A and B are shown apart, each in its own frame.
Chain A
Amino acid sequence: MQPMISLEGVSFKYNQSTEALKDVNLTIKKGEWVSILGHNGSGKSTLSKLLVGLLKASEGTIKVDGIVLNEDTVYDIRKKIGIVFQNPDNQFVGVTVRDDIAFGLENLQIERQDMIKRIDTYVKKVDMFDFINKEPSQLSGGQKQRVAIAGILAMETDVIIFDEATSMLDPKGRRMILSYMRELNKEGVTIITITHDMKETIESDRIVILKNGSVLKHGPSNDILNDKETLEKSNLELLLPLELMHHLEQHNIQNERLKKHLWQLSLNG
């Protein structure tokens, strides 16, 4: 099967001396949920900007759905990938919730009747129907972020990137966004979460760890989450229940039921 996104030897330099990304090779399958994990300055946000052509790779090729990303194809590729950014306030373009969801559709030149239908569908999907005429100043951060998601969903892209989309939200808002990711992934949308929060990566199929602009390790989530050595190398911490499990193992305390419960706990975030 043709991969949804593939990167071959991608590098990016902000200026001559600092290389934000070094020779990144990565393939993401259709319908996959991949977490890109890394500390601040690891190049993870640069990666997301490269994928939608907001930045141009200095070297290497990026392919989305079989199309090579370049100046001519960037507008077509943006129709396939949506990004939810970190700051809910800085991606709210419309004066009201309805106008904001309409913004992307207006850009795609969707017919008005279609637009109204789509807005209706997706505003309900993120449970914001009661707020459809509200202005951003009347909404909480979590609500604004849900509107941002609806705005991307309405564009019906194949891939949605969540670029630290939950880092400015409270725990309740974060759980809500995570539940949308789960739901969307079930419906077949390819999801890429970019984060430094381990809790967001648990449910994803695969984790890619970035360190100083290179891929340090990648593999199935269960393996990476348990890989204490690699995580410590990239300034990340094990989830508390897993940390406890390691501790128990180190001290030869065998209790399979306890271990099972700890693993379950880490999954529930």
Chain B
Amino acid sequence: MKNVVIGRYIPGHSFLYHLDPRTKIMALLILMAAAFVVDDIMHLLIGLALVIGVLLIGKISIKRVYLGLRPLMFLLIFTFVFQVLFNRQGPVLYEETLYYSPITIGLVVLTVVFWGFTKKFIRFRLLYFLLMLFTILAILSLIQEPLTFRTGAFVVHEDGLRLAFFIMVRLIIIVTLSTILTITTKPTDLNLGLEQILKPLKLVRINAEEVAMIISISLRYIPTLLDEANKIMLAQASRGVDFEEGKLKEKVVQIVSLLVPMFIISFKRSDELANAMEARSFVPGQPRTRLHVLKWKLNDSIIIVFSLTILITTIMARVLI
């Protein structure tokens, strides 16, 4: 339970680590906007190359970023396949006749079932999933026999392929950029940066400092509460609750047996913590001095100007071309 990989800070040294968190957050937003404005494949690829360049200069291992992307892989592939199959605009790139018959459909069902049972034992699940899709396509297009009751067509349109590609690269760029942010910024610094950026929200009566305090206390208590959850699970296991197995109904009982004590303990903790905070002169909403202050350096200005230049260029490119 302690191996939460997404959004984890990894200590290191490069210019990315020494940037002001405010810079990184703002640059992320600006570049994300730019990634959405781009509508030319070449420009998008240049963007991707730039992102990879930042990874290399910032000495961030590509493997780390891949770990960040992995949970999204299924979504990426799914949107890609969906776009390719169902977008019917633009010139036709590729066409194949499909033959539907009881035999081919039976084979398809068998393939899916086989895939479902064996995927657990395969290391490269993504490739295996793609392999299954190709097998289905091959079965439907190659086996032609008398029982065929319908024919269909598998058509790839240019727009479908283009859009699918766009969505995929955009998502990769955005996720990579945010992974860079979380890898190179301590949660506390990130929180401080957010607090500073959100300060103008005071106009709509949202106190950024309080929000930041809530986030910082949550960050501080995540390991403590995880420990607690482990203890409760052990305690419940010693009373006969089996967290490993069970049907859906039993799972619900297991989760309740974990959640109820967790809730009670958390409330007790927060009560004591509130007392301790108040006793140390904390008054919500009152001004406080800060130990951590952010320093804006030359590099920060350069990065912001650079990001803005990219955004403006992409907007110009889209308007003019």
Contact = CB atoms under 8 A, between A and B. Distances in A.
Contacts, number: 94
A98 B290 CA distance: 12
Contact of B280 (A98, A119, A152): A152
A163 to B, nearest CB: 10
A135 interface: yes
Interface in A99-130: 99, 102-112, 115-116, 119
B282 interface: yes
Interface residues of A, number: 41
A39 interface: no
Contact of B282 (A49, A83, A103, A110): A103
A120 to B, nearest CB: 12
Contacts of B277: 93, 103
Interface stretch (B53-61, B175-183, B268-276): B268-276
Contact of B291 (A75, A78, A99, A135): A99
A107 B220 contact: no
B224 A108 contact: no
Interface residues of B, number: 29
A79 interface: yes
A137 interface: yes
Contacts of B217: 93
B196 interface: no
A187 B12 CA distance: 44
Given A75-B281, A78-B281, A99-B291, A94 B220 contact: yes
Contacts of B281: 75, 78-79, 104, 107-108, 155
A252 B223 CA distance: 59
B291 A85 contact: no
Contacts of A79: 281
A75 B285 CA distance: 14
B135 interface: no
B289 A95 contact: no
A177 to B, nearest CB: 16
A92 B293 CA distance: 21
A136 to B, nearest CB: 7
Contacts of B279: 52, 54, 78, 81-83, 85
Nearest to A76: B281
Contact of B272 (A52, A81, A87, A104): A87
21 contacts: A54-B279, A85-B272, A85-B279, A90-B276, A92-B220, A93-B217, A93-B273, A93-B280, A98-B291, A102-B291, A103-B277, A106-B288, A107-B280, A107-B281, A107-B283, A109-B289, A112-B289, A112-B290, A112-B291, A136-B224, A137-B223
Interface of B: 187-188, 216-217, 219-220, 223-224, 227, 269, 272-273, 275-283, 286-293
Closest 10 CB pairs of A and B: A91-B276, A102-B291, A90-B272, A104-B280, A137-B223, A107-B281, A106-B288, A83-B279, A107-B282, A109-B289
Interface of A: 49, 52, 54, 75, 78-79, 81-83, 85, 87, 89-96, 98-99, 102-112, 115-116, 119, 135-137, 151-152, 155
